[in-house]
A and B are shown apart, each in its own frame.
Chain A
């Protein structure tokens, strides 16, 4: 199985900050990498697919980069509503696997 490792596991940042979350795959997944946001008590929400494509309706402050084994999710200007857990997920091959998650807190 492909292991997905996110860093950091948690972070705290202020409104307006630029925040970057990293995801590393244990082997190449090309660009088959997606990012999700999950708020407490809710289902995950798709933010970015195919490493860098913004899902319809998602604010443009979210962006994704990378290919192969190393990927990043960046929030350009943090907003209060961005407080959530973020997960990367590879769809290169089954079993599809997720990172362990990054918990983002607003200071």
Chain B
């Protein structure tokens, strides 16, 4: 069965960086895209960007350009999202979610979420 398993909660100080992982299993890793979506406490969902798991090319939301880096390791079927220059407003649950190639890009499977807390 398809599973996306994310790394554990993180506590970071303002200005630091965080790297969250998402390990995929149960399907052909490179046949899908992976996205990162975040949710601040009590708030809605915010799309951060996408990585093509086959070629590794990325497309980031303008809001995160220059601060976010998405990478993948095809040997371990793992995707990474690194966010730098953290501020308190980055406190949120970060989700990885996959979409199929072609057609309608729907997030059909999600990771369990990783809470990142930014606090001095």
Contacts and interface: CB of A to CB of B under 8 A. Distances in A.
A87 interface: yes
Interface residues of A, number: 23
A34 B107 contact: yes
The secondary structure that dominates the A interface is loop
B16 to A, nearest CB: 25
A95 B105 CA distance: 12
B104 A97 contact: no
A44 B95 CA distance: 9
Interface string B63-98: 100000000000000000000000000000001010
Interface in A56-107: 87, 89, 91, 94-101
Contacts, number: 60
Contact of B113 (A43, A96, A98, A101): A43
Contacts of B45: 36, 44, 87, 89, 98, 101
Contact of B106 (A46, A94, A97, A101): A46
Contact of B110 (A44, A50, A101): A44
A31 B62 contact: no
B10 interface: no
Contacts of B50: 94
Contact of B44 (A53, A55, A94, A99): A99
Q: Which of B105, B112, B113 has the most CB of A within 10 A?
A: B105
B7 to A, nearest CB: 15
8 contacts: A32-B104, A34-B104, A44-B95, A46-B107, A89-B45, A94-B50, A95-B62, A96-B35
Interface of B: 35, 44-47, 50, 59, 61-63, 95, 97, 99, 103-108, 110-113
**Cβ-closest 3 pairs across A and B:** A49-B106, A43-B110, A91-B105
Given A36-B45, A43-B112, A98-B47, 16 more contacts: A32-B105, A36-B107, A43-B97, A43-B111, A46-B106, A46-B108, A49-B104, A50-B104, A50-B106, A55-B108, A91-B99, A91-B106, A94-B47, A95-B47, A96-B47, A97-B47
